[in-house]
Amino acid sequence: MSITILGIESSCDDTSAAIIQDGYLLSNVIANQNVHKAYGGVVPELASRAHQQNIIPVVDMAIKQAGINKNEINAVAFTRGPGLLGSLLVGTSFSKSFALALNIPLVEVNHLQAHMLVHFIKEKNAERLIPEFPFICLLVSGGHTQLVKINNYLEMEIIGQTIDDAAGEAFDKCAKVIGLPYPGGPLIDKNAQEGNKYAFTFSKPRIKEFDYSFSGLKTSFLYFIRDNHKVNPNFINENMNDLCASIQNTIVDILMDKLIAVSKKTGIKNIAIAGGVSANSGLRNAILDEAKTNQWTTFIPEFKFTTDNAAMIAITGYYKYLNNDFASQDIAPLARFKY
Ligand code: KG4
Ligand code: ZN
């Protein structure tokens, strides 16, 4: 008998539902929220309201696109956290009612674990290399930056992490300084393709062992722009592409230094990246270059699996389902949620 999981993701500003059957992705529907663009960042209250509007049509579409009947679903896997509480509440409440109505179990999923399990999603028409355990994953998103040793589907150890801002935050905040709209990460990436990454240099932080720090870089970028703007009011416009390429290069270098060090220390050469910032072309190229030098086997997610999506929630739910790891109906979402 097949195992069919409905995944629900609502931790930030994307409402998503996906169907995974026996590890194969049948559908993955995502509704983005444009309402935040005007505010330069996600407004939690608006995000929560948009999730409420989106969740039913998104789930309905995911079930239709998968070509299944809702009675075939064996369990509902949902993001319990970490994330914005008001956003998480919508996905959690919906999942509980759906599971209750169909009399099927609930599976709670940690959003960060889910990002790292995208490498196990199978698709009928796409051959994909699946990582062997253990592997190292550099998880880089808007809220988190972690180096993780993955021993098994649900057994993960954090080896290092940011002590302040996340890498995605660094991209977004630097983008804001040079007038790019939120989220600025993808725009920095786009402009960087036309720029010289060695045009400007920014100092890298000295942080112990495998931890990261990005708040100093953001501040020094801000001061650098402010000082140059005083001398030349057109400084940003005249140097936009070089600024983007240089700040991207610095962030990627900081990420790569520790990743290389962790691989050397552990001897693990199976290297994966995950999370929103894993879409960054500078980071993807740096991983591929390093793979040649260090004989790494690399796992780089397809773009559609880098940012928030429910396919990753459903695949994590699938492995938890196989482990009989179920949640009760009185479960509550958690804004902070360690795995
Ligand atoms: O994983 P994600 O979708 O949401 C969180 O769980 O945080 O990551 C969103 C982050 C944002 O900071 C966004 O700017 C960044 O990922 N991002 C990128 C790129 N695409 C998305 N940063 C740099 N380059 C990109 N191409
Ligand atoms: Zn995420």
Q: Is 75 helix (H, G, I), strand (E, B) or coil?
A: strand
Burial class (CB in 10 A: 0-12, 13-18, 19+), 293: exposed
Assess contact for 221 and 174: CB atoms under 8 A. yes
- Centre of ligand 2 to C-alpha 12, Å, is 8
Specify the pLDDT at position 172: 96
Cα dihedral 253, 256, 258, 263 in deg (nearest 10): -160
Q: Which of 285, 307, 309, 312 to mutate to test the pocket of ligand 1 (most atoms within 8 A of CB)?
A: 307
| Numbered ranges of CATH 3.30.420.40 in the chain | 4-127+305-322, 135-304
Confirm if 154 and 323 have CB atoms less than 8 A apart: yes
Please tell me the distance between residue 101's alpha carbon and the centre of ligand 1 in angstroms.
Answer: 35
* CATH 3.30.420.40 given to domain 4-127+305-322: yes
Decide: 186 in ligand 1 pocket, CB within 6 A. yes
Contacts of 84 (CB under 8 A, 6+ apart): 11, 12, 42, 44, 47, 48, 335
Contacts of 83 (CB under 8 A, 6+ apart): 10, 11, 12, 111, 143, 333, 335
Q: How many residues does the structure list for the chain?
A: 339
Chain-centroid distance of CA 12 in Å reads 11
330 contacts 89 by C-beta, under 8 angstroms: no
Between CA 240 and CA 130 the distance in angstroms is: 39
In short, whether 94's Cβ falls inside 6 Å of ligand 1 is no
C-alpha 275 to ligand 1 mean position (Å): 7
* Helix/strand/coil for 162: strand
pLDDT digits (tens, 9 = 90+) for 34-88: 888 888 888 999 999 999 999 999 999 999 999 999 999 999 999 999 999 999 9
d(CA 247, CA 302): 24
Q: Tell me the pLDDT tens digit for each residue of 171-181.
A: 999 999 999 99
Q: Where are the alpha helices (DSSP H) in the chain?
A: 44-66, 85-102, 111-116, 167-177, 185-192, 215-231, 235-266, 281-294, 311-322
Q: Which fold has domain 135-304?
A: Nucleotidyltransferase; domain 5 (3.30.420)
Total-model pTM: 0.96
Q: Say how far apart CA 231 and CA 235 lie, in whole Å.
A: 8
Q: Of 110, 277, 287, 306, which is best to mutate to test ligand 1, by the most ligand atoms within 8 angstroms of its C-beta? A: 277
List the Cα angle 255/260/265 in 5-degree steps: 130
Report pLDDT digits (tens) over 229-247.
999 999 999 999 999 999 9
Q: For residue 233, with 0-12 CB atoms within 10 Å meaning exposed, 13-18 middle and 19 or more buried, which class applies?
A: exposed
**174-218 pLDDT, tens digit each:** 999 999 998 999 999 999 999 999 999 999 999 989 999 999 999
Does the beta carbon of 280 sit less than 6 angstroms from any atom of ligand 1? yes
38-52, 53-67, 135-149, 315-329: the lowest-pLDDT one: 38-52
Beta-bridge mates of residue 77: 7, 107
Q: What is the mean pLDDT of residues 114-120?
A: 98
The ligand whose atoms approach the alpha carbon of 144 most closely is 1
Query: Does the beta carbon of 108 sit less than 6 angstroms from any atom of ligand 1?
Result: no
Q: How far is ligand 1, taken at its centre, from the CA of residue 97, in Å?
A: 31
Contact partners, residue 278, CB within 8 Å, separation at least 6? 138, 140, 284, 300, 301, 306
